Amino acid sequence: MEMERTDRRKQRLADLTDSLFLVHYCHPSCKPFQNIMRLPKDEAFSLAEKLARENPGATAFGRFADFANYYPRRLAVDRLLYENFLRLGGKPKEKHPLSFVLQDCGYLEGWFGNGPSYRVRLSKICPDSVSFTLGDSCAQYERTGTIRQLTLEQLLARMEGFSSVEAFLQEAAKPYSYMEAQLWDDTAIQSGEIVNANT
């Protein structure tokens, strides 16, 4: 009987991950699946200056206009996320993750100038290569000095207390606007699992 319950729960969780998507937003001036923090420092500063200069009204590049202030904060946050994820049992292949959100977010779509977006089923992502934060990880760290980071298993456990995924996301969105996902392995991108959501 216990084994039957465990099997049913596993199937429920498998169905849930198959119904969820990670979404990556990209400004029209950028290439998708990039992280400026992966560049050598001088290249990162040069690119940030270029993007801020060429896109003066773009919300997405406001942080790049003050990159000398943003860079060390982002560096510290990525380091904390990486160390937390290792403690949680994750197996990151990159020091700086690629940023996604769970499901869609109209707020971020506008923030990125209504550029292209890309999506991948959560079931196609290795569980030990993705983590989640309630809201923007950098903003969370600046507000509280800590980051509440979840593994996929912890996220799904939270969702089980709600009547539906939509109900969970609606509740989570009240204080945070969206749920950020950090992808620590580029395999899903290289394998072609991610599709352009605008086509």
What is the per-residue pLDDT across 18-62, written as a single tens digit (0 to 9) for each?
889 999 999 888 889 999 999 999 999 999 999 999 988 888 888
pLDDT along the chain (199 residues), means of 10: 61 76 90 94 96 87 91 95 96 95 84 87 92 89 88 89 83 79 90 69
Give the span between the Cα atoms of 69 and 87, in whole angstroms: 28
- Tokens encoding 152: 């996929």
pTM for the predicted model, two decimal places? 0.88
Tell me the chain's radius of gyration from C-alpha atoms: 17
Q: What is the reported pLDDT for 107?
A: 79
- Tell me the C-alpha distance between 130 and 52, whole Å: 29
Pairing relationship of beta strands 179-183 and 130-134 according to DSSP bridges: antiparallel
